[in-house]
Amino acid sequence: MASQLKRKPVPLQQPIPAGMKPVVNESGIEIKPLYTADDIKDSTIAGEQPGAFPFTRGIHAEMYRKRWYTLRQYTGFSNAKATNERFQYLIKTGNTGLNVAFDLPSQCGIDSDDPRADGEVGRVGMAVDSLRDFEIAFDNIDLDKITVSLTINGSAAIMIAMYLAMAKKKGFDVAGLRGTAQNDILKEFVGRGTWIFPVEPSVKLIGDTIEYCAEHAPKYSPVSVCGYHIRESGCDPIEEMAYAICIAKAYIDETVKRGVDVNEFVGRLSFNFDIFGSIFEQVAKFRAGRRLWAKVLAEDYGVTDPKLMGLRMIAGGGGFGLTIEQPENNIIRGTMYALIASLSGCQTTALCCYDEAYTIPTPKAQQIALRTNQLLMEEGGLADTVDPLAGSYYIESLTDTMEAEMRKTVATVDQMGGIKKLIAEGTLQDHVSQQAYEYERKLESGEFRKVGVNCYQTDEDKDAQKDVEMHKNSPDDLQMQIDSVAQVKAERDDAEVQRTLTQLRADAVADVNLMPTIMDAVTAYATVGEITNVLADVYGFYQEPIRFEAAE
Amino acid sequence: MPQASENERKIKILIAKPGLDGHDVGAKVVVRGLMEAGFEVIYTGLRKTPEEIAQRAKDEGVDVIGLSILSGSHTPFCVRLRQLWDEYDLGTKMWIVGGNVPAADHDALKDIGVDAVFNTGTHLDVIADYIRENVSKWPRN
């Protein structure tokens, strides 16, 4: 029952003065008009240090005094060549990391020349069919200096293999290669939707990538667990953090059950969270989540090495927070979100661009997003000291309350059979979409205030057709992609492709780790679609549970 | 919002997600909103082909087909669905599209046969009222 997941509100112990309007944050926690020393008398914060368990104050002792967070913008469109040009531009303007967007066919394991890809090739990201596309996209990019994040999930095992194979071909040492793949399939079933196989084999593939990377690419982060998309799909900030922890636990369990020591891989798991909403609630969310994650590793998995227990995160803001109405306001929202990211001790940010609510960002908008972060650091003093809000009566009180609420939510999920079960049966999706519906109703009624949307509108806003723009693909680029697949297929050794695909099928049936054979297949230039089809023959496709439980 | 009366046959609506686009928050919100407004609503789930949507609309005998598209592929998709109208006997159904559709494309969609386009941010009541007020004029001539 989805309603069992519904969190209870957290009221105040002492009533607020008569006549004062109550304030309840998005997490359902009622906020006091004034916090005092009394509110943090049970807090453990005075004894906590950044860089030490339980990491509430940050995962490094010196945080941004030593190194700023990585600035990483989400980019990728059309084909590998056009994407490479944009990468070069982003590096020139000061990005120290790249975040690759893939088109939908690539994300769903479909080749560009497949009829199902019609109209979608290169539309929302870079089209990748074979290793050739990776070779072109990362041409002349120093992978030892620039860390690359692959925003890929359903077909992630294949894309990670391609990235590693490409790096190897270009002469980089894979054992020392840093970077991240999103590779979080469980959240795809709740939000984002680029699943391919059923839940069980999907989670098995995640285990394969974790196990393979632990052995062959130990510096690479094979999974970035995403609270982000579940939050964007409607859940509250407590649930965002709690569900992400539940998902991470599912991947740990999948890997540990194969006999892999948790200490060998848990330090390479990273996280991806969303930023929008109340500044203080968001900062407290990150601090509480970090603390809970460290405790979960200690309590549930017996991890003791503090180096493995810090919650590393990319915190990005925040597509759902941006509006088509008065789009320039999104620059100011972006500043708030970057401020939150800085105050929260994140490792990387990818700020949404102000025009992202209605189009693929222009270079100008990308530059503004980047400058927002740089300005906060250079002019705003955000990098001057570690965890600057620590000790605040309000922040510490809220951090403690949110940690307790997150812990309750994780326990509820566990009691209901675990997150994998709740997702397979559609219970979690039903709960999250119910929350999205309630949010929409509050937005429409004005109960939830959104500037330019339901308050502070100009007459112009009310009359204007809210317009969106779509990135126009050049038909030449698309033809180039289809020609490129044909050329790769003409030039490769077909016998080797067939041999590796036959082996892959056998491996999938035998239920062994598929990564070594996927590496062989991509190196032989087998395509994303060919590899996916072999796996789908064995695993089948995910059948989406459709549930709309009536609200209570 | 006016509710359908008890003995009135509920208006039946199919909300479909065509193509590979995985953004389903809006579609699911619309499904719940229309259910609450008293309609019978069927949701297809993600990644449906034009043929699958046409078949479902025919099998379920729906009055309204609603497509939710945020990937920018609205025009080619609507062209493909329009080509199936006669084969699946859909020409008499109300056809609405929701999502991110640039204003410049609205007329093109209407030329293809779409009756109304509701962009992101449209209030649920506006969609419900449109359907209720106009579906009585269906089947169209």
CATH number at residue A368: 3.20.20.240
What residues of chain B score a pLDDT lower than 50?
1, 141
B25 and chain A in contact, CB less than 8 A: yes
> Is B1 domain-assigned?
no
Question: Across residues A295-299, what is the average pLDDT?
Answer: 98
pLDDT tens sequence across A382-392: 999 999 999 99
Q: CA distances (Å), A14 to each of A19, A26, A39, A394, in order?
A: 15, 20, 12, 16
Spatial distance between the Cα atoms of A485 and A111, rounded to a whole number of angstroms: 8
> Is A7 domain-assigned?
no
Alpha-carbon dihedral B56, B62, B66, B71, rounded to 10 degrees? 0
- pLDDT of B141 reads 45
First to last CA, chain A: 11
Burial A286-307 (b: 16+ CB within 10 A, else e): bbbbbbbbbbbbeeebebeebe
- pLDDT of B140 reads 58
Instruction: Flag if B28 and A193 touch (Cβ within 8 Å).
Output: no
Residue A75 predicted with pLDDT over 70:
no
| Residue B45 belongs to domain spanning | 12-134
Q: Which amino acid is at B113?
A: G
> Is A211 domain-assigned?
yes
Q: How many domains does chain B have?
A: 1
Confidence of residue A122 (pLDDT cuts 50, 70, 90): confident
CATH classification at residue B130: 3.40.50.280
How many other C-beta atoms can be found within 10 angstroms of the C-beta atom of residue B61? 9
Mean pLDDT for chain A? Answer: 93
Edge-to-edge order in the sheet of strand B94-99: B40-43, B12-16, B64-69, B94-99, B116-119
> Is B124 domain-assigned?
yes
Q: How many domains does chain A have?
A: 1
| Residue A361 belongs to domain spanning | 38-463
Degrees to nearest 5, angle at CA A530 with A526 and A531? 80
A435 and chain B in contact, CB less than 8 A: no
What share of chain A in percent tops pLDDT 90? Answer: 79
Confidence of residue A359 (pLDDT cuts 50, 70, 90): confident
Q: Are A327 and A358 in contact (CB under 8 A)?
A: yes
A111 and chain B in contact, CB less than 8 A: no
Residue A25 φ/ψ region, left for φ over 0, alpha for ψ in the -120 to 50 degree band, beta for the rest: beta
pLDDT tens sequence across A396-444: 999 999 999 999 999 999 999 999 999 999 999 999 999 999 999 999 9
Q: Which of residues 45-84 of B touch A (CB under 8 A)?
A: 45-47, 49, 71-73, 76-77
Instruction: Flag if A440 and B28 touch (Cβ within 8 Å).
Output: no
pTM equals 0.94
Q: Which of residues 227-266 of A touch B (CB under 8 A)?
A: 232-234
Say how far residue A113 (Cα) sits from the centre of its chain. Answer: 29
Confidence of residue A473 (pLDDT cuts 50, 70, 90): low
- B73 contacts on A by Cβ (under 8 Å): 119-120, 123
Nearest CA in chain A to B103: A467
Cα–Cα nearest to A203, from A250, A243, A241, A249? A250
> Is A107 domain-assigned?
yes
How many other C-beta atoms can be found within 10 angstroms of the C-beta atom of residue B35? 17
- pLDDT of A469 reads 67
> Is A89 domain-assigned?
yes
Instruction: Flag if B100 and A468 touch (Cβ within 8 Å).
Output: yes
